[in-house]
Each structure stands twice: as C-alpha cells, then as structure tokens.
Amino acid sequence: MTITRAAVLMAVAHAAALVTVARTAEAAAARTAEAAAVARTAPAAP
C-alpha cells in the first residue's frame, strides 16, 4: 500500500469517526432537551 493510499484511508476513517461522535453528541443533546421539557411539564411534587 502506498503512503498516499494509507493517508487517504486514514482520512476517511477519521472523518467517519468524527461523524459518529457528532451524531452521538446530537442524540445526547436531544435526550437532554427532551428530559428538560418533561421536567418542566411535570407537576411539582407535593
């Protein structure tokens, strides 16, 4: 395998990892926002 091909494959793998991290962070933010909305609409405990 040439150095150029190895560098391209490494860049593709890195980009895929960044996409995975971004999706995970987005999902976590959505869950947090949903939990906050539920907490705001829930009746206060007596």
| Residue 33 binned pLDDT confidence (cut-offs 50, 70, 90) | very high
The pLDDT tens digits of the residues spanning 3-25 come to 999 999 999 999 999 999 999 99
- CA–CA gap between residue 33 and residue 6 (Å, rounded): 41
Rounded mean pLDDT of the chain? Answer: 91
pTM of the complete model beyond 0.85: no
Expressed in angstroms, the distance from the first to the final Cα of the chain is: 68
- CA–CA gap between residue 43 and residue 40 (Å, rounded): 8
